[in-house]
Structure 1
Amino acid sequence: MTRTPWWRNAVVYEVYVRSFADADGDGDGDLRGVRSRLGYLRDLGIDALWLTPFYRSPLADGGYDVADYRDVDPRFGSLEDFDALVADAHEHGLRVIIDIVPNHTSDRHPWFREALASPPGSPARDRYVFRAGPPDGSPPTDWPSAFGGPAWTRLPDGEWYLHLYASEQPDLNWHNPEVRAEFEDILRFWLDRGADGFRIDVAAGLFKDPEFADLGDRGRHEPGSPIYGRPEVHQVYRDWRRVLDSYDGERMAIGEVWTDDPDTLVRYLRADELHQVFQFHLQLAPWSAADFRRVVTGAIDAVAPTGAAPTWVLSSHDVIRHATRYEQPAGPPGTGLARARAALLFVLALPGSTYLYQGEELGLPEVLDMPADARRDPIWIRSGGTVLGRDGCRVPLPWAGKAAPFGFGPDGSRPWLPVPDAWRDLTAEAQSAEPDSMLAFYRRALRKRRALPSDLPDSIVWAESPGESLAFRRGPLTCVVNFGSEPVKLPSGQRLLSSAPVGDLLPGNTAVWLLDR
């Protein structure tokens, strides 16, 4: 009998390291802080944790601007701290996935400093994407930065360098074999230290059109884009897969791939490439039965030809927290939280793996009223304060106590982003004492998920759904979600778990799991 790989149906918890737990009191979360909370993560019921970047970095983009891929930034700890964290996580039965950032480095990376000190056409500059611009002084192409403005910065010698994100994040030239060899060595460095897998940042963006065609009216992620989804990238992941497969322990890789095209998605999931790709559309979908059904059908159908499993994401460090998103369409107070509970049951009942984002188990809302002078996101900075950016979903976690920052760090420490006073009732400590809290609900849901029959199929069948509800069957399991405000009739079956009290009818904004009797 073939054993199912651990990652295929895993629940993975994203740890935004800087905002998780601060052990040394400098205001930044760190690896020792994560290690101190492993018992909390184990008791939550997850299978693995994904660590956002903790490498040496100036933090121009929250650590996604890496200056040294083989070391831990002192603000986050040391290599010894990483080793201890991995060892303890494995003792707790948890796998550890780490972020790898191959599209770009920091402008403080030794390679880029060497490039700046070298002349045009030099081998040092060939590791990055440098171009001469037209005589009128405009950038070489119309390519935009994801953070606003052009994706090119001009140097005093007249050449331009490419940065699809912040100017502090120069893009690497993946046509250069030295770049490819370097990252394979980086993978081995962390695999040798016990990492169980990698989340690949901007996984589809490594190669750019060698003809440097303008983007024009095309979206940056559309098929045929000159800056995303180039076919050359697939050989990189074939090479990486050989590295991963050379290690024991089912090491894996999941790619950050944005695409609406199923044929494009399938290519990353071929048997000799990535194990998983993120399917983000559910975290962008409005609270609607029709939209949830459309997204789930598309996601399952997209991966079906590959034999891979879909992935489900409601929140992450890049989007508004779903407890806040689900407040629309508006309902009575608490609507967003009620819908968030229902959405959790919905995704946990689906085939595939679920990626949770830290704090969603506490029902944390997006912080929309953060003071302007506290915001750090380059989106906010590059937009001149006209776009809020992602700071609101990255606020440090509230752990305990009655006063901000609620045990995020030692007494008297000040976190890198302010924690709202209104979170005093949302701490992990407060919710652990409340049987009906969001934290208690997440623990119950994850425990029930583990107790579901092990032979549930990797497919679903949509069932008859009255009113504004949505129902699907997965073998003996039925999940029903009422997206409307009016109660609907429930089908028969043994009730395993519901997101709110349920009688003969399923209330609005509520979900239930039923098992065939």
Structure 2
Amino acid sequence: MAPAWWKSSVVYQIYPRSFCDSNGDGVGDLRGITSKLDYLQTLGVDVVWLSPIYPSPNDDGGYDISDYRAIAPEFGSMADFDQMLAQMHQRGIRLVMDLVVNHTSDEHPWFTEACKSKDNPYRNYYIWRAPAADGGPPTNWEAAFSGSTWEFHAPTGEYYLHLFSKKQPELNWENPRVRAEVHGLMRFWLEKGVDGFRMDVINMVSKTYAVDGSLQDAPVLRPGFLQPAFTLVTNGPRLLEFLQEMRREVLDHYDTLTVGEAPCATIRQGVEITHPDTGALNMLFQFEHMDLDSVPGHGEGKWALKTLDLRDLKACLTRWQDGLAGQGWNSLYLGNHDQPRPVSRFGNDSTYRVESAKMLATLLHGMQGTPYVYQGEELGMTNKPYASEADCYDLESINMYRSATQERGIAPEVALQAIRSKGRDNARTPMQWNANSHAGFTTGTPWQPVNPNYPQIHSQAALLDTNSVFHYYRQLIALRKAQPVLVHGRYQLLLAEHPEVYAYLRTLGDERWLVLCNFYGGTPVLDLPYQVAQRVIANYPSAGTSLHNMVLRPFEAAMLRLE
């Protein structure tokens, strides 16, 4: 049996609003994406993951969907979509759509109907509860975007559950009609030729509490403690059942790539979900490594900043590499539409921007799993400069700043620094195509400003520079297609306690490859008992074939074939 195509693939994520605007209205669109497919083909990616393009009030950047079977007018028409998909397939690029079915928009017709009365047929599509004895919310749970998870609906006298924005009511997956609706909309897109789905917070569709009519056993959070409620209700008892039903009813009938976003997932759950025989999805996005630069258990969640200890990152990624080996499949990512730019977060976005961007790419593309490249990552795009809270466009950052400064007494500069480091707008500034006005993203006024460093960092210059981050990514992507050891080889961590260097082996048969990554600006000396047969790829000129007393330069990285 031939290996699954998605194991040797590289996925490129597009956030459509910020990718390329074809009509000058300041919002990226489908025709803009189509116009850049030759660029993606040159990069060499196999799959495009498209963030939501469906009609939405855009309370949460399109992840609040009001119609699952249509295209939002700002992105174009269904004809534009069909042309884009055909052009992708003509270039050998597959398309993965975002499936956002843990919740809908409160403007979706299902919810509009559900609000009409308690006995409306759509009422049980969502999770409703009576007020507590004091008339307040059923629990004191905190939503991911701050505030209560419960929103009161006065006409019917009940609260509905929302783990994110109040405009994102939770779907009730205990209702088989809801699951059938989801299966139907999946078939709609698959029949149009889509090649798979990225499934938004899919491990929340089965909830530990709030689904059985009773909340008496639900935990009560400490007053003022801002642990988001989704950490309490995630990975409910019927999750695998629901996903296996989805696989049986829909996915088994198509050749797809499926990746589930799974906050709070454990390795055991990762194996259960991605096991090729008994699981349901090809891979998942786990978040453990995304939390290592936040203070564990702190009430401020991801906004409580701490310096990353490289040893923690090595231990975390190694647990997942080892834990899923032969039993599932990893997704490999350091950035996406919800995360800050990797080169600003884990590298050096000034003096060593190019070197550290290449180093991070080497680390990720050398591991076992399917790599994901977020738009602009292949250029070494950086976090945006926030001068004040007025520079925030994302609901999460706006709510955090208001809550921190007005309700919890946190100094404005402290809150702003957290947003500079972790805010989602960092990833959502427009793509930088050239040095012209607005980086060539639009001929109009962009929906949010382009990062002011675009005259120095843009794709036009990167394509012309053979030493650019872009061409380094292109070489890494080509290597995965040519070298089975990078796809199927066994992973083995080296130098686990070294504070500066991430080193590991990949082994397949007689092939042994060593991946070396200096994570910092120092010059550590290594002494490894190997002889280099070939420097396959590196972000500095050759330093010889001996690993005895080898001095690594700042943010140096290399893949080495060993004798």
What is the alpha-carbon distance in structure 1 between the residues aligned to residue 249 and residue 87 of structure 2? 25
Secondary structure of the 1:472 match is strand
**Structure 2 residue identity aligned to 1:66:** I
Q: Which whole-Å deviations, capped at 9, do the CAs of 1:417-450 have from their partners, x for residues lacking one?
A: 1013321111111221222222222222222333
Q: Determine whether 1:478 maps to 2:478.
A: no
What is the alpha-carbon distance in structure 1 between the residues aligned to residue 99 and residue 180 of structure 2? 15
Moved more, 200-209 or 438-447: 438-447
What is the alpha-carbon distance in structure 1 between the residues aligned to residue 290 and residue 351 of structure 2? 20
What is the alpha-carbon distance in structure 1 between the residues aligned to residue 8 and residue 72 of structure 2? 32
What is the alpha-carbon distance in structure 1 between the residues aligned to residue 12 and residue 264 of structure 2? 23
**Structure 2 residue identity aligned to 1:81:** D
Q: What does 1:217-256 correspond to in 2, within 5 Å?
A: 217=221, 226-248=232-254, 250-256=255-261
The answer for the alignment partner of 1:40 in structure 2 is 39
Equivalent pair of 1:19/1:29 in contact (CA under 8 Å): yes
What is the alpha-carbon distance in structure 2 between the residues aligned to residue 284 and residue 63 of structure 1? 24
The answer for the alignment partner of 2:431 in structure 1 is 397
Q: What does 1:3-18 correspond to in 2, within 5 Å?
A: 3-18=2-17
The answer for the alignment partner of 1:308 in structure 2 is 328
Q: Which whole-Å deviations, capped at 9, do the CAs of 1:203-244 have from their partners, x for residues lacking one?
A: 11113322334333596589xx65211021222211211244
**Structure 1 residue identity aligned to 2:178:** V
Secondary structure of the 1:422 match is coil
What is the alpha-carbon distance in structure 1 between the residues aligned to residue 543 and residue 131 of structure 2? 68
What is the alpha-carbon distance in structure 1 between the residues aligned to residue 540 and residue 290 of structure 2? 22
Q: What does 1:245-394 correspond to in 2, within 5 Å?
A: 245-248=251-254, 250-259=255-264, 261-270=266-275, 271=277, 272-285=279-292, 288-304=309-325, 307-327=327-347, 333-369=350-386, 372-385=389-402, 386=404, 388=419, 389-394=423-428
- Per-residue deviation, 1:487: 3.9
**Structure 2 residue identity aligned to 1:68:** D
Q: What does 1:414-425 correspond to in 2, within 5 Å?
A: 414-425=445-456
Secondary structure of the 1:7 match is helix
**Structure 2 residue identity aligned to 1:312:** L
Alignment CA distance shift 1:176-1:333 (3 Å) = closer
Equivalent pair of 1:456/1:474 in contact (CA under 8 Å): no
- Per-residue deviation, 1:460: 1.3
Match of 2:525 among 481, 485, 488: 488
Match of 1:408 among 431, 438, 441: 441
Moved more, 103-112 or 79-88: 79-88
What is the alpha-carbon distance in structure 2 between the residues aligned to residue 9 and residue 48 of structure 1? 11
Secondary structure of the 1:93 match is coil
- Per-residue deviation, 1:378: 1.3
Computed over aligned residues only, the root mean square deviation of the Cα atoms, in angstroms, reads: 2.4
Alignment CA distance shift 1:215-1:364 (3 Å) = farther
What is the alpha-carbon distance in structure 1 between the residues aligned to residue 349 and residue 312 of structure 2? 22
What is the alpha-carbon distance in structure 2 between the residues aligned to residue 320 and residue 456 of structure 1? 27
- Per-residue deviation, 1:354: 0.7
Equivalent pair of 1:220/1:227 in contact (CA under 8 Å): no
Secondary structure of the 2:477 match is helix
The answer for the alignment partner of 1:207 in structure 2 is 206
What is the alpha-carbon distance in structure 2 between the residues aligned to residue 12 and residue 171 of structure 1? 29
What is the alpha-carbon distance in structure 1 between the residues aligned to residue 368 and residue 493 of structure 2? 13
What is the alpha-carbon distance in structure 1 between the residues aligned to residue 284 and residue 484 of structure 2? 25
Secondary structure of the 1:448 match is helix
What is the alpha-carbon distance in structure 1 between the residues aligned to residue 350 and residue 447 of structure 2? 30
What is the alpha-carbon distance in structure 2 between the residues aligned to residue 390 and residue 296 of structure 1? 23
TM-score (norm 2): 0.84
Secondary structure of the 1:55 match is coil
Moved more, 26-35 or 439-448: 439-448
What is the alpha-carbon distance in structure 1 between the residues aligned to residue 180 and residue 92 of structure 2? 33
Q: Which whole-Å deviations, capped at 9, do the CAs of 1:340-371 have from their partners, x for residues lacking one?
A: 31121111111111111111111111113166
Equivalent pair of 1:221/1:229 in contact (CA under 8 Å): no
What is the alpha-carbon distance in structure 2 between the residues aligned to residue 16 and residue 460 of structure 1? 32
Secondary structure of the 1:419 match is coil
**Structure 2 residue identity aligned to 1:295:** C
Unaligned runs of at least 5 residues, structure 2? 294-307, 405-414, 545-549
Alignment CA distance shift 1:398-1:467 (3 Å) = closer
- More helix by percentage: 2
- Per-residue deviation, 1:384: 4.9
Alignment CA distance shift 1:6-1:181 (3 Å) = same
Q: Which whole-Å deviations, capped at 9, do the CAs of 1:473-502 have from their partners, x for residues lacking one?
A: 212211112235124347421101112234
Unaligned runs of at least 5 residues, structure 1? none
Equivalent pair of 1:375/1:417 in contact (CA under 8 Å): no
Alignment CA distance shift 1:243-1:400 (3 Å) = farther
Secondary structure of the 1:56 match is coil
**Structure 1 residue identity aligned to 2:468:** S
The answer for the alignment partner of 1:515 in structure 2 is 561
What is the alpha-carbon distance in structure 1 between the residues aligned to residue 172 and residue 262 of structure 2? 19
Alignment CA distance shift 1:294-1:217 (3 Å) = farther
